[in-house]
Structure 1
């Protein structure tokens, strides 16, 4: 032991103790006044924050017994998932050995909080409570939130976001009664094979590690708690786990000073509260062979305290780790650590023995009163800083909810949006732009879950999952695809191996040879080390972790809902260098997040569930889908109920519904808008000009603007189907056949085909129909039946083909179609009605509207089947005034012209094709909260979609309220369920 360890030598003639150290009662020795006078002033050592703090520390210290002073040096390990034997053991150490702190490990949040209160009640002086929670409480506790690893955060270049991580983790720790977190890791991970640090480090670049750690510390300590930098002097280039043995770090002093000490020097000046000293063998800093750094006076005192001028608390790493316990026996290792200059001895194996050893060293003069006071008073100072001078127990009620708030997911989305890194982007394959002719396959590698990734990919376009037991057979299946997305998924749990297997490497190589490949890796960056070359892989995305949010955000990036911002925090051989990271283009497609990220409140928005379930429970509809998007992000998408009241098939988000009159603005109107945008029609174009068959009728001079504003004096509708029934009210053989032929090829329902020319009869009936006497607002299906005829005449294409080519393909509306049975299994289609008056069968996949059915399922006013996600895409396109996915469908001026109420002064609220909010005091489709610039439509089957440019909201509600029959009272409408949900949406807006 160096002489400098012994600051004060006691005279052997002085009476030191009234009884021996092993006795239960001890008398505090009083060193000679002359020795105290020579000592360095304590104020300079402790750096008290205030006179009040100093007085409290001095007062408490003077009241402590010798036992209690020594006890303050120990922080013992406790668990909240163990039995009463463990709890009693902890209580005994608190009662008998006066320990000053507890570090909690595994357990649960409520159980830990209860034990915290119990243990605090047993201690005369409040305990310092710590945890080792580098990625949040969930590193140790179940039912708590898991933040990204440091290496993931190291990919982020927005330090404010990392500061937010510190704040949130700090607030959660504070709510749990925790004062110290042994985080962040300050190790510069320059060794990819490091078995114990790795992803726990912010990376291999000292500046990035320092900046990231600084942001975290600033956030964590801003809530009044204390962070701990670790593992001094530097654990980043080791190949041995110090939990199992003593690693050796062979760097020179110069290297340590330049690299490993870099973050410490910077962060000491910024107020880092404490440092944890590692168990490392560092020959250049400690000459004793195989001596752990944690017990090295040279490292702890000469370097950390004197050279680097650190004034904060110094913790040993856990003394029960093999890196320390193999060096000295319990008790002896604790004494060595204290003599080296540490303040708090973490996780001692034998507290009574360690206290006895320290006490005997005190008797022998190896430890002076000043040295003991130095650490104990420093500990008391930090107890004051965290508020233990006014200790209050942890409040148990609502604890779980208060540490698991929506803000957690909100930040998690932001973190991955800024972390996920594009490492290769040959020919700008990312983001995927053209959807209409791009056949995309998906292949999974790895043994962990991928459901959120695949589900999100499928929300953008059609994705075909391909698998096989044989690589050659797999490549045969892939040959017809344009793009193959390969994702690699490994467990997000910390210590799981994350390397590609040899088989997976071979498969990746073979797939890449024969296909255009985007590789997305949901594992730590070092998993890429085993890939020999990336030459034949067009796109490489590093998503870092396999959490659900990482999967969602990565899928967003692939399709351009977000742009790539992340930078690689470590090097991957010669393939990718630290700080590599390409920027990708952001396409204005819908993305996904939580309400808080778009200025809305999750708790308020959750009230949608109540109204949706109310509709189900009161049998207003068997099933319901609801989607809400704001500011280009889907924030709520849920399904409720079943396909029928038999409660056999649950509704899921991908199921499709007959959307009835939403067809008007989902299929016919956007094509009409393109005609208008191309100046083929204008607001004054007459019906006779658009469709010459109306010439010489009383309808020929109806203007386009009147036609689409439901201001053309049309009747509401005509029951066209009634004229095709026989005397028994069944489909007449004159008009229908059970088997299709060349003259009867339009399918109306199962085993029912109508004459191909009956459309002409329908148009003649509209031409000959009487106009209502008064020019007033009158909603009519005739408008869009007419517009379908117009579009098919001028384009030479059927409406179902036209809308697919012009909109659905490029928008990625792959679940939206006429006649869905031609594309989908009927079991994903909610049945619409048990038709007992026309087709006499259950309609599942056949349009409910009779006229649209008589058109072979393709109507201008009805016939579309879709789900909420697809409808949201085209509504977002409208909200973006004709642009989606950075593709222009029509001009902003065209949209503005169509979203104008031209006859509001005459009491007609309608826009051009769009429905608009009702005027005050009149009934209408919306809650009174929607702005006048909002627009949308409702449908007879119990559907609604609405968009509000001012609030930047898209709302979609789908149901099959007409099942099993349409004769029942429309309680969904009478009870204002759709409007009440819309009101909840607006109530949820906070900014």
Structure 2
């Protein structure tokens, strides 16, 4: 027993030694509630008190334990007891790890802060990123600032960050300001106040501390305090009414922290001390006159504004003398601590002065819950809260609302990609990374407008280079100019490069090209007359870049308004409102379709079909969108209207199988020249190895047309059908004959699923119908849709009931209602969207869904054997076509067995959709062929030019 106890003791001793030498004393959450007890100021040493006033830089990147950075941070925390850290560049889990580790090292919990002006995403991938303050103000909705603050605070809290050094409360009253600019909400004090206060309220609603900056106002300067010391020359009266007003609002609304800026303001400090060093500005004005009793933190003491004029140690001492509580980022932390200690001992700084600041700091930490086991990083919350789908969705919405159309002289917005054939995208920036920042926008342009030219100018240019660029641009229809001016420290830029402006002037003077300038960054330009259209994003973050693409192509509303005044014409509050394109169709011109309509009405009276749904358009003009007759011949039957749904039978081929093959081709997962044997290796013998996807699409594969599998007692499922198709002999050698084949499209459905390893129905919905907002197109309709569906037939052979709301085709029904040849339900309006997509060469509502070359290839007649088919689509036969006699040779279309058809004339931009349930009550009903031809001919006669040569007499017999 004693031996056993000894062994246990030795094991415990061994484990305790391992734990003692580990950086992580807590294996679970690193830090427990018991670790921290709020210290009594009286019991703290002078060194400990002073160290609480120091905040140092850390990152969330990996630190090797032998590295200088790791050893330095550990020494500052463990041996010098610094009070806080500010987190910069990081990945989320790295930040979690490092904050947890640093807190575990600390005797008194660390105050963790960060510059999350635009959210965690500003500093780390995965966090939510918001647009700039100026963009937030452009939305005109202060609730957006509150929501932004709330989300930032929630994400910061999950990471263990307690203080957010935001918002910027500076008024951007100087357009030449190279560091505030977009970071300001506005040039109007009341706007800055209202948006800034809302942000503060959002931050502090979650128990996180907001910090208004840069007191007493950094907006009215053209100097960056990161490099030099700005001087604000305004009078005190002006400052009180303008620069100081937002800070007064923040104080009134109980902001917890205020950051002092490195600014000389003679009207507030006659000696000329920077605000950070000025007792007159910090203690007398901010605390005594304005009533701020919270915590004052300096701006980074390492910045050039101070260290270029004074030593680090003296700068730190003057900041404390001015009334600052936290010294942010001194150049030398240990030297700073020693300098403060010496100043206290010499009597220059009183111990009471130190105690006052330390008391505020400890109270702030207490408010963060740091002495109650709260305020620590929470791994579980990190995975749920940071960068959540909901947060990003809100940020996207806010970003979209910020896009501002300041000017549009020639109504270039929205861009109609189908009209502007030759487009040039000119990127102007002096930033080497501009092309990377704008990559998503460039890709959007190139995707939407195939073969757009791109010119990137990221250097100063001379007159000769300007001339060369203008020559390249001249032969285009539309010029999209992306101007990116980054507002960042040490850059010193606030507007477009002068030589780039000269280029814009030359383009304006020497060409007639339509021009759209998109400003990614600073909205300020010397001259706004050098372009037709001006769109402002107020930033170059990925969400802004994405949002402006949606805006210019009409995919989103444009509703932003200028939060700053740019010129006499472009004043604060101005902004053109553009509604997104909800449809490619409109009713602009009326045609007399009375005779064409009478053909349909006569057919209903002759019981060729009980009802019909018709859609006709020419260009963007809807000629007819109407229902005729009823769902059935019964007197109590509902009338057909534009919402009636039809089983479109074989139109399924071109509305599901064909576009999915196109998508897979563009994704390089399938080719029309792929052999069937690549997907079905058993498909061999007697020319089978020669069958390509191309042959299946053109009905030249030699595969049989149709087999009644539903009547075969040995066929039970789709696999059995596929096996039978694969084992059948071909009717002819591929490409040397024509036989319309449903079986070939049954194979295609399975090839598509194998190529993408995804369910066919899901692919069609996700890739085609949902992106096009085709809400009435689907396989296997839900029960609540059945009331709107036209019945197809009384099935007396297989199902022995009225077929309504389930697929008419028996083979498709047998395999679950989804096939490559049948099964789709839709209405004329949805089919019109799909037809217009092809008429527009792959574009719908400003978004490209297929490459132009892909669409044109699939609509081109393949001229294989006796087939009139393009790739999946039918084309008009030389005689007797269901399209009638007047569709051009650039037309395409398809029929469905149930009495449905769609025909599109590319040359004349005409779409005619005729949906009927001619199979009701029996498929034996005939007459649809003659009616369809007659109807098409009368419509085309009406729509085409009167000068078109028409036969004097038409034979419909």
Please classify the TM superposition score into its range, dividing by the shorter chain length: 0.5 to 0.7
Comparing 490-499 with 219-228, greater Cα deviation is found at 490-499
Aligned-pair CA distance for 1:263: 0.5
**Equivalent residues of 1:829, 1:844 under 8 A apart:** no
Aligned-pair CA distance for 1:129: 1.0
**In 2: Cα distance, 1:420 partner to 1:509 partner:** 25
CA spacing shift, 1:420–1:344, aligned 2, 3 Å? same
1:287 counterpart residue number: 270
Q: Does 1:453 align with 2:441?
A: yes
What secondary structure, in the 3-state scheme, does the structure 2 residue paired with 1:686 have?
Answer: helix
2:279 counterpart residue number: 297
Q: Does 1:487 align with 2:467?
A: no
Deviations 1:223-278 (A, max 9, x none): 21111111111111223222223221111111111111110111111121100111
1:197 counterpart residue number: 180
Aligned-pair CA distance for 1:491: 6.5
CA spacing shift, 1:784–1:113, aligned 2, 3 Å? closer
CA spacing shift, 1:471–1:355, aligned 2, 3 Å? closer
**In 1: Cα distance, 2:338 partner to 2:468 partner:** 71
**In 1: Cα distance, 2:552 partner to 2:500 partner:** 22
1:925 counterpart residue number: 818
**In 2: Cα distance, 1:285 partner to 1:825 partner:** 65
1:501-580 correspondence runs (5 A): 501=497, 504-513=500-509, 514-526=511-523, 528-530=524-526, 532-534=527-529, 537-574=531-568, 576-580=570-574
What secondary structure, in the 3-state scheme, does the structure 1 residue paired with 2:534 have?
Answer: strand
**In 2: Cα distance, 1:258 partner to 1:828 partner:** 65
2:671 counterpart residue number: 830
**Equivalent residues of 2:485, 2:496 under 8 A apart:** no
**In 2: Cα distance, 1:342 partner to 1:201 partner:** 24
1:586 counterpart residue number: 580
Which 5+ residue runs of structure 2 have no aligned equivalent? 1-35, 457-463, 586-590, 615-645, 677-685, 706-734, 753-762, 779-784, 796-800, 832-837, 839-846, 855-957
2:699 counterpart residue number: 849
Number of aligned residue pairs = 677
1:664-703 correspondence runs (5 A): 680=597, 685-686=602-603, 702-703=608-609
Aligned-pair CA distance for 1:158: 1.8
**In 2: Cα distance, 1:873 partner to 1:702 partner:** 34
1:61 counterpart residue number: 41
CA spacing shift, 1:919–1:515, aligned 2, 3 Å? same
**Equivalent residues of 1:246, 1:322 under 8 A apart:** yes
Deviations 1:73-111 (A, max 9, x none): 222233444663222222222333322212233444333
Which 5+ residue runs of structure 1 have no aligned equivalent? 1-55, 591-665, 667-673, 690-699, 709-777, 786-799, 801-807, 882-895, 939-944, 946-953, 960-991
CA spacing shift, 1:451–1:332, aligned 2, 3 Å? closer
What secondary structure, in the 3-state scheme, does the structure 2 residue paired with 1:88 have?
Answer: helix
1:252-267 correspondence runs (5 A): 252-267=235-250
2:120 counterpart residue number: 137
Aligned-pair CA distance for 1:128: 0.7
TM-score (norm 1): 0.58
CA spacing shift, 1:855–1:826, aligned 2, 3 Å? farther
RMSD between aligned residues: 5.4
CA spacing shift, 1:829–1:463, aligned 2, 3 Å? farther
Aligned-pair CA distance for 1:481: 6.0
**In 2: Cα distance, 1:184 partner to 1:868 partner:** 44
**Equivalent residues of 1:248, 1:282 under 8 A apart:** yes
1:692 counterpart residue number: none
**In 1: Cα distance, 2:125 partner to 2:252 partner:** 36
**In 2: Cα distance, 1:819 partner to 1:352 partner:** 67
2:258 counterpart residue number: 275
**Equivalent residues of 1:816, 1:870 under 8 A apart:** no
Comparing 259-268 with 131-140, greater Cα deviation is found at 131-140
Q: Does 1:91 align with 2:86?
A: no
**Equivalent residues of 1:818, 1:857 under 8 A apart:** no
Q: Does 1:424 align with 2:407?
A: yes
**In 1: Cα distance, 2:252 partner to 2:482 partner:** 43
**In 2: Cα distance, 1:580 partner to 1:297 partner:** 41
**Equivalent residues of 1:816, 1:867 under 8 A apart:** no
2:193 counterpart residue number: 210
1:75 counterpart residue number: 55
**Equivalent residues of 1:57, 1:380 under 8 A apart:** no
Q: Does 1:104 align with 2:87?
A: yes
1:724 counterpart residue number: none
2:423 counterpart residue number: 441
TM-score (norm 2): 0.60
**Equivalent residues of 1:707, 1:783 under 8 A apart:** no
CA spacing shift, 1:575–1:833, aligned 2, 3 Å? same
Q: Does 1:465 align with 2:453?
A: yes
CA spacing shift, 1:838–1:358, aligned 2, 3 Å? closer
**In 2: Cα distance, 1:391 partner to 1:880 partner:** 55
1:951-970 correspondence runs (5 A): none
Which of 784, 790, 793 is 1:901 aligned to? 790
**Equivalent residues of 1:916, 1:935 under 8 A apart:** no
**Equivalent residues of 2:130, 2:395 under 8 A apart:** yes
**Equivalent residues of 1:909, 1:918 under 8 A apart:** no
Q: Does 1:323 align with 2:305?
A: yes
